[in-house]
Structure 1
Amino acid sequence: MRSETDGDNLVDFFKENLMVAKMFELELEKWTKETAAEVFREVLGYKSGFAKGLSEMVISKSSKQRNNERIAELSITTERHEKDAEYYKRQLEELRGDVQVLLEQQTTYDKFISTYMSERWSQ
């Protein structure tokens, strides 16, 4: 029968193995304290307070910082969408012009066929 501490030990064991596996995915030159902290945050998430074993504070991003980052991302996306909208607007105007030319040609053709058929029937 397992106790509650056994379950905690299994979770800790899994987390440690996941962190070790992520570190081994990196090249040896990239094994730094900062990389270890990044892997720690990736596996365990952000947590305020002292991060055990890293001898440093892990401070989560402030909501203002996250909002500023989100605003920057949305600004870039907005610019791209505005450029796309301008492109498609130009394409639409071009197509409208082409359709207008086709309609004019169709009208001319219809008049020609009508005249031709009436002359042919009158002969």
Structure 2
Amino acid sequence: MVERLGEKESKEDVEEVAETIFKDVLGHRSGYAVGMGHMVIPDPSPLMKKSRAFIRLSKENQRNKSDAEMYKSKLDAMMTDIEALKKNFSEHEKIGALS
């Protein structure tokens, strides 16, 4: 196990290997990784991966993720526009106050 940890160079790789080692050594219970201190979602079984419901939910999940990313980018663009409007309004008020 330690050899596997020594083979990795980046921090993400080390964390991934550390989680794998925790699972291998300590095991896991449904919904909880022993010793990790946080909830985990167990990997689906091969039979479950072939299930129509699983495939449908997986596709729906991907669609929802892409929709969420799209809406997040739209929100970011709107927030940028609002900041620009605030700046323009502030400048307009300053000009009006000087007149």
TM-score, normalized by length of structure 1?
0.40
Q: Which has the larger radius of gyration?
A: 1
Choose between structure 1 and 2 for higher RCO, CA contacts under 8 A separated by at least 6 residues: 1
TM-score, normalized by length of structure 2?
0.49
| Bigger helix share | 1
